[in-house]
Chains A and B, each alone.
Chain A
């Protein structure tokens, strides 16, 4: 064998030196993403708005002392005033209190539907993308067929079958109709990650499929899914409002923004505030989740940094 190449590993090239100032900073990719996020005004604003909505959903009493269900008919259809900030509705209920209490239903449905759809997508998408072959063909084609059902139209058809429609029924229908897009996203993400060399080296080490999926593939394919899931919360909230507006969603006496908008439509010209306030709050909520999704996308995609 010939002599050693002139340059040996002992020579200290700049290449082998990482400056010592960063010594103790443990910079994971998630950590980096977080640091990038909190510097983004869009993220901070949307996060604050979402936080307010969450608190409103859990502790509506913090925002109003009025009871949304005490409705003296004598005070019906008042315009906004110091006494009733958002005015009153046709029953005489305080509209501000109703708007506050409406957050609970919207946020609950948004989170429940997204969580369950995400779980279905993660399990199905991982199996489909990782194993490929006949399993993938089966899951992917069923997903494609399901994907073809329009959410609102499908929602109307299915919900019309229920006599009593509460949060559970509406959530169930939105979960059933909502998972395909997310599953396709997880699947394609998993497929792109499973071809990487670090997955191959885990296999060469003898790692089990479960270990490879949970330790290597999912952590690296999660970023686009998290972004989409965040946006989905907003979209689901809007879908619930749409279904309630179409009278196939929640039923009175439930308090929901969609129902409020639905009731308001008959009096758009005479009492426009009945449409404006729930509409505005709904829009802000949906918008916040979508903004948050965008901010997350920028922070989690290293290529855009």
Chain B
């Protein structure tokens, strides 16, 4: 069932997937004791997550804080070791690779972080930050070409190349995020994982950075995994969207499917919370107020993780975990009682 999931219902012609995530699970043990640690529980940060990313596409991962978006991203980058599951990049599982193969993959999958103040080494100049990629992978670019390429990259992301010798603290948040983007581009990657790249920025600067990312995608044919909790930003930049709740994808589809033909009650609730800016827009349905808090990922509810806060929940929801499949909907949804297009 899962193989059909990402393509289902999409009219857009999608190429071969460049990156496939299969049943990715990341559990963090909760331990106690100083010398002899024993496990007293697990945090199920990312639980059975599967999706595909196609060439030149932007896939959005959206959800509340703590729903496992960042853990999923970090695991794909192999900054974390997964509990189980696989990430197939160009036909090979990155978790089964040798150090040498992994080095090659690192050139292809790059990252942009959320906090522009924490993601740049304060004791390195902008030039050194961007050029570090080539110090690590000297085979990519000859030493004498590095300076010129750094200037080119700074120009490309909209920074003044004269500032190559400045330090990060001399730049604003938006400019720092551009430095982070230049660093990610240095190795000519094919996939960029952007972990909330605009959440920490002012709204006007957010738009600039989002537009820059779109321009770079058009120019360089990049694929993005774009993580955000802001539904409007996601809608603006993403071709496809996966909605996460408590470590699981509850709904995945293209932009129209998720935003217009919303099937999962959780997505419905999230969307109803987005303030409408256009007074002429069709009357937004009444705001759905979710009761209670997100349950602890260390002790998630049985069956459907959302059932404790769902107004549609019935007995069946507490039993088997609903699979992410087509249920008379135009895209896969993990709910026994999905909303269906009228």
The listed residue (B113, B122, B135) touching A29 by CB distance below 8 A is: B122
CA distance A204 to B107 in the complex (A): 9
The reply to whether A201 and B183 form a contact with Cβ atoms under 8 Å apart is yes
A1-B236, A29-B122 as given contacts; A137 in contact with B35, CB under 8 Å: yes
Chain B residues 114 to 151 lying within 8 A of chain A, measured CB to CB, are 114-115, 118-125, 132-133, 135-137
Is residue A28 within 8 Å, beta carbon to beta carbon, of the partner chain? yes
Q: In whole angstroms, how far apart are the Cα atoms of A220 and B122 in the complex?
A: 8
A30 at the interface (CB under 8 A from B): yes
Contact pick for B171, options A18, A29, A198, A204, CB 8 Å? A18
Chain A residues, Cβ within 8 Å of B110: 204-205
Contacts of A8 in B (CB 8 A): 207-208, 211
Given contacts A23-B162, A198-B120, A220-B121, contact A207 B132 (CB under 8 A): yes
Taken together as a complex, chains A and B put the C-alpha atoms of A15 and B225 apart, in Å, by: 27
Interface centre among B125, B169, B205, B208 (most CB of A within 10 A): B208
- How many chain B residues touch the partner (CB < 8 A)? 58
Residues of B within 8 A of A215 (CB): 121, 124, 132
Query: B interface, by DSSP: helix, strand, loop or mixed?
Result: helix
Q: Which residues of chain B come closer than 8 Å to A201, judged between CB atoms?
A: 111, 113, 119, 180, 183-184
User: How would residues 187 to 228 of chain B score, 1 for a CB under 8 Å from any chain A CB and 0 otherwise?
Assistant: 100000000000000101101101110100000000000000
- Chain A neighbourhood of B113, CB < 8 A: 197, 200-201
Give the residue name and chain of the A residue nearest to B174 (CB): A15
Question: How distant is the Cα of A216 from the Cα of B318 in the complex, in angstroms?
Answer: 48
Residue of B nearest to A204 (CB): B111
Q: Which residues of B contact A1 (CB under 8 A)?
A: 236-237, 239, 255
Q: Which residues of A in the span 212-227 have a Cβ within 8 Å of any Cβ on B?
A: 215-216, 219-220
Please, how many angstroms separate the alpha-carbon atoms of A35 and B137 in the complex? 36
Task: Give 1 or 0 for each of A3-43: 1 = CB within 8 Å of chain B CB.
Answer: 01111110001011010001100111110000000000000
User: Which residues of B are at the interface with A, using a C-beta cutoff of 8 A?
Assistant: 35, 74, 77, 79, 102-103, 106-107, 109-111, 113-115, 118-125, 132-133, 135-137, 158, 162-163, 165-167, 169-175, 180, 183-184, 187, 202, 204-205, 207-208, 210-212, 214, 235-237, 239, 255
